[in-house]
Each structure stands twice: as C-alpha cells, then as structure tokens.
Structure 1
Amino acid sequence: MGDVLRRRRPSRAVAPLRRDPRASGRFQRSHRRLDLRQGCVGRRAALLRWALAEMQRAFLGVDCGTQSTKVVLRDPATAAVIAVGRAPHELIERDDGTREQDPAWWIDALRGAVRDAVRGERFDIGGIGVAGQQHGLVCLDRGDRPVRAAKLWNDTTTARECADLTRKLGGDRRVLELTGNLLLPGYTAPKIAWLASHEPEAYARTVRMCLPHDYLNLWLTGEFLTEAGDASGTAYFDVRARRWCEAVLAAIDATRDWTRALPRLAPPLSVVGMLRREAAESLGLEAGIPVSAGGGDNMCAAIGCDLVVEGPAAVSLGTSGTVFAYRAEPAVDPLGEAAAFCDSTGGWLPLAATLNCTSATEWVRELFAMDHAEVDAAMASGGAAGLAFLPYLSGERTPNRPEAAGVFVGVRPSHGRDAIVRAVVEGVTFGLAYALDALRRAGVAPTEVTLIGGGSASDAWAQLCADVFDLPVARPAIVEAAASGAARQAQWAVEQTRPSLAPVTSRRFEPRPRRDLREAADRMAALREMAGANRL
C-alpha cells in the first residue's frame, strides 16, 4: 500500500501569505513593482495573490478507525464538509481473540486519505484535529518506533490479566472508587500486563506507551501527549480528578517510571503542536499547520454531532456499537457497565459499547451473499418470527462476556434467510438498548437518540432503533461524525471560540408500539442471563 501511496503526489496546499508590516525595503519594492505590473517578479506575485484569494479555508479532521482512516475538510463558516478521503486498514485477527494492527498502517492510510480528500486542490488549512479508535496499546522504543503491533479495543485475550489486576487492587468496587471504571479486556491497562507476561522481551524494549490518536499526533507534531477523553479509556486514569491513577499503574508494574512512559496531559481545546516539515511533505501539506489535542473517536463524534450539552444520547452503528451522552459532572455507573469517560471539551461522556454491531450484520449479509438493499428489505418485512440471536461473535463488553459466542435460539424449519437476517439485526439492537439502560443507571435521562455510524443510513434499522429504544430517533445530516468533530475541535482550538453550528437533522423516526418486539426483548433478556451463567 505504501508504494501505491507514494506514487500519488498531488500539488501541496499553499499556506496563506503572511505580510509583515516590518517588511524589508526589498519586499516593499517588489510590491511596488507588483502594483505597477512591472517585470517578471511582479507577474509571479500577482499570480500568487490570485491563487491565495481563490483558496477555500478549511479545517482538516482525521478519524483513525478499525477498518479505515477517514479525513474530512470542514468549512469553518458553514460547518459543511467540503471534501472526504478514505483509506482502508488491514487487521490481524486470530481465533483466540487477538485483534491487532501495525501502527505503520495508520500512517500509510493517513497519507492516502489526506491525498484522497485534497485531490490536488488548494486549501488554506487552518488546523488539524485527530480522532482515533480508543483503548489500543501502542508500545514505542527509544526512537519512538513501534515495538510490536498495537493490541486494539476489540482484543479479548486479556481476561486473565483483568481478573489478576482487579484482585490485586481489592475488587471491582475498589477499582470503581479509584478510576470510575472497571478493568475490562478491551481497555489498555490489561494489555500492558498481558505484554509483560507473554512478551517480556518486547515489554523490556518498550520505553513509552500511548493510544492510537496519541501516536498519530506524535507523528504529526513530534509532541508526546494525550487528553483526558481518550486517556479515560485506559483504566489507569482517574476520571473524577482527570489524572493518571498511580495505584493502578503500580499494580501493573511498580518498577517502571510511569511519568516517563506515559504522555503528558494537554488541555482539551488547545493547540498542542505544529505540523512537522517531514510529516507535511509526506501528506502533501504545508508545514506549521496547528494541530489540536484531538481525542478518542467517540469523544470527537460527540463534538461532531453537537452533543456537548445534556439531553440527547447518541447511538453509533459502527463495527462496534456505542451509546453515549454528555454530562457536566462525572457520571459513574454503580455496576460499572457504562464507562465513566471524560469528553474532549472539558465535560464527561458516559458511554457503553458493544463489541458486535455492523461486524455482526455484515457477517450475516456476506453469509447469504446479499447486498445492503436486500438486507434493508428483509428488515422491513416484519419481525424475526420467534427466532432470537445473541450476537456475541467476538465475545462481548456490555455486558462483560469476553469468552461468549453467538447463539441462535428458536430455529424452526420455517425460518428462512430473511428471518435469520432480522434476528441478527434485532439481537444487535437489543444489545444497544441494554447499553442505553446502563447509561440511565449512570444518571443519563435521554430525551431522544441521535443515530450515527455506517448502519444509520438504513431507514429500516433506524426505525427499529426507535421502536426498541422507545425514543424518537434523529438522523443528522452529518458526514463522518468523528472526523468532523475532530475538525471542529481544531477550529475551536485555533480560534479560541465555540460557535454553535449543530448538524441539520435529515430525518426523524418516531417509536411505534410493537408486541412482537416486547416478546423478543424478553427472550433476549433470558439469553443474556444464560450467557452470564455459562449455560449457553
């Protein structure tokens, strides 16, 4: 992929002309010649001034996800996305629950996505913001080179390390007191413990550790830092005090100097560095563009959807399913199923995630060789006729079932392809409803749901969400919510203002009473209970 990307070198974006009032006499004389339209230098300057006047100002947002890196260019005046670029990622996955990516793939994809968005056009890039998939562990050596592939948010190989650390710290209740979050396999803390136990040589070569979005910011600016939103998903961060939790870090490794190993914490709405010349040349941009603190993909999606006030909740239908809402105060679920995250504006973002969302719906679509229109038609044709599906194909996080598997229950000879498809989509949606209930325990009282993510494009699925959640569902007219939010955060950081430009709702879906869904909800609750008791 890298060789292909290097052959695509569009014209570099031109930085705005900065005229210094203290300019030399030579500079002033050149502009006198320009005004008089005299000589080659004057004509060249006139062309440059014309080009600068024609450039559109934009803020660049990045979303480094699991499947791809997305880049958007956002108009600061209208909030419209004026260009989009994408580049795919590879994924290392094994039957034992391993899910990993080489950080070099993210850099290659960033190059490709930026060039796909710019396409040789001229933009006055006002700033860059980076969103990244949360929880991934990036281990760096003394030269800030990755020691090994990054273990990702959906890697479930660390269940034993979670149990060991929890026991060492005094149990779940004590862990919640220390950090606001339980130790779950997807989080970063058990990944470090896993590395120390399973790959001691790689652990010994590791000098610094960070998250995916931190690594991209390091590559862009040379600055090693993070912010509270993404850091709160590590399980070694105190979300109430917004600082690293020394007790958890000591339980992982009491001999390591964590002040040197972890990135410094930057304010959320701040410029943290400038685009390095080497990175700029690689991306086809101008050096010196301001880079904001960025954040986790969910935190930036909240900014992109204008979920920076209390009231609505967001549900994202992506590879994973996520449910989150803004809170002005820390919000801790007493059961620990909803994560007590910080947001990337200075507030808090209670969030519950499911490991199986479009990953499950795409699995069944590919199984039957269907296109998306056929899946939508199957979903719209009615309920699952008594068939239920527990969608734990990759284990599960909410509820915490890392070793669970997917299960169909109630299969009859009369069940055909469409019923199976509906059962899968219903199972995923009921899992998101369970996650929404976890947010309610944390004090969130959603008035409506903002539906985002790739799956939200389906009208049939959006209506099913409204019916299952028993809440109005609004689908915003927004392109790439996380990348758009990262661009918006960059604008706020550079301009030090927070203009309210909420995305326009493209369609609303009102809940409808359905007896078949109430019966299906009861079946799903029984299945979850059986999975928790290891009876499936």
Structure 2
Amino acid sequence: LKVIAIDEQLRVIYEDNVHFDKDLPEFKTQGGVYIHSDRLTVTSPVLMWVKALDMILEKMKSSGFDFTQVRALSGAGQQHGSVYWKKGSIQMLKNASPELPLHQSLKGCFSVSNSPIWMDSSTASQCSALEKAVGGPQHLARITGSRAYERFTGNQIAKIYSQNPEVYKQTERISLVSSFAASLFLGTYAPIDYSDGSGMNLLQIWEKVWEKSCLDACAPGLEERLGCPVPSHSVLGTISPYYSQRYGFSPNCKIVAFTGDNPASLAGMRLQEGDIAISLGTSDTLFLWIQEPTPALEGHILCNPVDSQTYMALLCFKNGSLMRERIRNDCASGSWDEFSKALSSTVAGNNGNLGFYFDVMEITPEAVGIHRFNKDNQKVLGFPKEVEIRALIEGQFMAKRIHAEKLGYKVCK
C-alpha cells in the first residue's frame, strides 16, 4: 500500500508505503497473496488491506504530517479483485469509533474473508457459462469490452455464488478493490467507477450501465449488490468523521472516486487522444486512448477514466522483457550495449526478415514457439545474430501495432 501527497504545483511533499509481507507478517502472505493448493485460486485477506491503511495513516501522524491541509484524496486499486460486505456492515462503517483502528471495527464485516484477486485463474467453467449465456465470446466482448477472463470480477462472483450460495446471500454489497478503499474513507459504500467497472465482464461499456444478461448469468440479485456505477472523476462526498476525529482531516476534505491501477496509469501519464503508452516489463502492456473502439477477442476496451465519452484499450503481451533478455544473452553476450549496436547495424525492415518470439504461451495472440521467416516468406531455422535482434524488436512492435489497430486505434501519419 502506497501513499503520496502532492501540493497544488504537483510537487511531492510526502510518500510512504506499507509492505504486506514484511510489515504485516501475521497474515503470512507471500507477495501480499495466498496461492491456494490448486495453484489456480489466489486471494488476499481483506483485513490485511484495512490494517495496512491504519498503519500508513499512523506512520503519517507520527511523522507530523498535517492532515488539516488535505483538500481531496483519491486512489487506485488492483483491477478485478472484489470485496464482499456482510449484511449490516454499512452501520459498522458509518459508526466506526475513532478510538479504535479501523481494522478492529470492521473485523466482522466481510462475508468472504479472503478476496479473490487479479492473479486468480480458477473460474474457467464460469467463463464458459457466461460466454454461452450471452451468445459467444465475441458478443460478450462487444457488450463489455472483453471476452470472459478468469480474473474478471463477474466470473469470480459467479464462482462464489455457485460454491457458497449462503455466503452470497449474506452479502449486501460487492466492491472492487478500488471502490472498497474509497468506502473506507467515505464511511459508506462508494460506487464502482466506469473505468474499473469495465474490467468485470458485467458493464455495458457503451451506455455505462450493468448488462442484465451478464448479471443474470453470474448470480441473482447482483445489480443491487453492485450499486450504480459513476464517472471515474466523480466527487463522491466528504471524508468520514472517523478520519477528522482520529487524524485531524478537515471535514471538508473531498473523496474523489477511486479507480483501477491500469486506468490510473493512463490518467497519470496524461495520455490524450491518439497517444500510446507502452510498459516494457516481464509482460509488455499497451495503453491506448481510443475514440471509436472495436472490441476483439484479444485485448480489453475500458471506459476512459479522464473522459467518460471516450475509451481506453489495454493489450497485454506475456513474452516481454524475459524474451528480450534471452535473445540478448544468446546474441549479444548478455550486454545491452552490444544488443543496441547490433540493432543499429541493421536497416529498418530487416531486409524482409521477420520473427515471432514466444518462449511461453502468448496471450496476444494465443501462440508459442519461435517462428522465423525470410524475405520470400519462407520459414527458416535461424538468423545471423544481428538479424535475430532486429527481427525480435520489429516483430514485437509490429504485433503491438497490429493488435492496437484491431481494437480501433488509428495510426496518424
């Protein structure tokens, strides 16, 4: 959990973090999560998140941070994860005693104590059922911006309902991680925002309303448990009296809707129409600002957090930095300098030589293996080292462009 305070000139005046494994060892998480014995189910304890918030605010207080100066706050949460509030919890949230840390007041509030998160991949049967119920994966993508994904919240809710109908029955509200965090500050249930809500397989992204066919396929009485979605930049209200009394926040401090980490990245990088941002990590991620999206079976279309009338696209490529590092090790003696020199020594277009490099099963597209083609479009077994390096880089970036264009991105000349 990270906190950052900025002034009106956007200068950072305070930052800190709580490390779940190290600072909250009593929860016994690894990387902030529990990986269950089936290796598919991945959860995080909800109370650990609440306790981390208590801890970070106490650290700020003891450092002398002046909470009275905070005019507004907002946040970002990991996408897709969900929190299940037990019947009657809203009263506990509204009436939390400022004498106690919040995690003590809320310890009986959650019908599911370990929240399913984005790393979970245990809902394959629910995904198939959802796609079947709405007329297939492409139709689901046209409605919600994505085909059914195991980590997406609708499928996680469907699993909880089918495996523990009693637990679902005891649940009065379902939050995303982002709206859950906003609820803690608001002292009442915060709505889900359009942008994070687009990562659930439940939101009709064109009208920004819950899609009845998807809700019905996942669980009964789901709409009232989700509440009405709102634009991502909505001011939800003022801070709960709990924080004014315990930490000294101004009662006029505004709470702005929290959103998902990916939409927040698009907003934080100040992308505008036509812009692309590429994150080159273990997986490569593409963020695009799109006016007229065309949802496809690969990639995701989300409502834009900055401008509710437009969209953002998200594409994830699994073979990212590890693939580049392997070719660097094989062709450039493990040196990025050598790799760059080799890349510069070849011409753009690589004289027609092209390669697709997937050491692990790729997401976009679903393919694996190394596939090389010469200028005559014939498959070949290998390339000279410098040709291999350019084939890798050009192949990766061409794939990004092609898949972005499939989702409706237009490359301006």
> Given the two structures, how large is their TM-score scaled by the length of structure 1?
0.56
Aligned counterparts, 1:3-152, within 5 A: 69-76=1-8, 78-89=9-20, 90-94=32-36, 96-114=39-57, 119-122=63-66, 124-144=69-89, 145-148=109-112, 149-152=114-117
Q: 1:226 is paired with a residue of what secondary structure?
A: coil
Distance 1:108 1:213 in 2: 16
Distance 1:400 1:194 in 2: 25
Aligned to 1:272: 236
Cα distance change, pair 224–378 in 1 and its aligned pair in 2 (3 A): same
Q: 1:76-97, CA deviations, whole angstroms, 9 ceiling, x for partnerless residues?
A: 2x22223221112321124522
Aligned to 1:466: none
Q: 1:357-378, CA deviations, whole angstroms, 9 ceiling, x for partnerless residues?
A: 68x69x99xxxxxxxxxxx975
Answer with 1 or 2: which has the greater Rg: 1
Cα distance change, pair 240–79 in 1 and its aligned pair in 2 (3 A): same
**CA deviation after TM superposition for structure 1 residue 117, in Å:** 5.9
Q: 1:136-155, CA deviations, whole angstroms, 9 ceiling, x for partnerless residues?
A: 12222113322221111221
Letter in 2 for 1:159: A
Distance 2:393 2:54 in 1: 34
Letter in 1 for 2:228: R
Instruction: Return 5+ residue gaps in structure 2 as ranges.
Output: 21-31, 90-108, 327-332, 343-354, 372-384
Aligned counterparts, 1:329-348, within 5 A: 329-333=291-295, 335-345=296-306, 346=308, 347-348=310-311
Aligned counterparts, 1:515-526, within 5 A: none
Aligned to 1:519: none
Cα distance change, pair 323–388 in 1 and its aligned pair in 2 (3 A): closer
**CA deviation after TM superposition for structure 1 residue 435, in Å:** 4.9
| Contact 1:85/1:115 (8 A) holds in 2 | no
Distance 2:221 2:14 in 1: 43
Q: Out of 203, 212, 223, which is 2:189 matched to?
A: 223
Distance 1:205 1:430 in 2: 51
Aligned to 1:517: none
**CA deviation after TM superposition for structure 1 residue 438, in Å:** 2.1
Does structure 1 residue 315 correspond to structure 2 residue 246?
no
Letter in 2 for 1:133: Q
| Contact 1:356/1:428 (8 A) holds in 2 | no
Q: 1:426-452, CA deviations, whole angstroms, 9 ceiling, x for partnerless residues?
A: 99997787455322211213579xxxx
| Contact 1:136/1:212 (8 A) holds in 2 | yes
Q: 1:502-534, CA deviations, whole angstroms, 9 ceiling, x for partnerless residues?
A: xxxxxxxxxxxxxxxxxxxxxxxxxxxxxxxxx
Does structure 1 residue 172 correspond to structure 2 residue 103?
no
**CA deviation after TM superposition for structure 1 residue 280, in Å:** 4.8
Letter in 1 for 2:51: D
Q: 1:286-341, CA deviations, whole angstroms, 9 ceiling, x for partnerless residues?
A: 4441100121111121111111x2122112346764311112x34123x3212111
Aligned counterparts, 1:311-460, within 5 A: 311-317=274-280, 321-327=284-290, 329-333=291-295, 335-345=296-306, 346=308, 347-354=310-317, 378-382=335-339, 390-391=359-360, 397-399=363-365, 434-445=399-410
**CA deviation after TM superposition for structure 1 residue 166, in Å:** 0.8
Q: Out of 237, 242, 248, which is 2:203 matched to?
A: 237
Higher relative contact order (CA 8 A, sep 6+): 1
Aligned to 2:24: none
Q: Out of 239, 252, 270, which is 1:306 matched to?
A: 270
Cα distance change, pair 107–447 in 1 and its aligned pair in 2 (3 A): farther
Distance 1:431 1:114 in 2: 43
The worse-fitting range, judged by mean Cα deviation, of 295-304 and 94-103 is 94-103
Cα distance change, pair 336–116 in 1 and its aligned pair in 2 (3 A): farther
Instruction: Return 5+ residue gaps in structure 1 as ranges.
Output: 1-68, 365-375, 410-418, 449-536
RMSD: 3.8
| Contact 1:223/1:272 (8 A) holds in 2 | no
Q: 2:277 is paired with a residue of what secondary structure?
A: strand
Aligned to 1:290: 254
Give % identity. Answer: 23
Distance 1:437 1:389 in 2: 17
Q: 1:74-129, CA deviations, whole angstroms, 9 ceiling, x for partnerless residues?
A: 222x2222322111232112452222112222222233444556732335111001
Aligned residues: 344
| Contact 2:318/2:360 (8 A) holds in 1 | no
Q: 1:150-174, CA deviations, whole angstroms, 9 ceiling, x for partnerless residues?
A: 1112211112211121112221232
Aligned to 1:465: none
Q: 1:360-417, CA deviations, whole angstroms, 9 ceiling, x for partnerless residues?
A: 69x99xxxxxxxxxxx975444399x9966245xxx654469xx9xx899xxxxxxxx
> Given the two structures, how large is their TM-score scaled by the length of structure 2?
0.71
Distance 1:282 1:354 in 2: 45
Aligned counterparts, 1:457-476, within 5 A: none
Aligned to 1:46: none
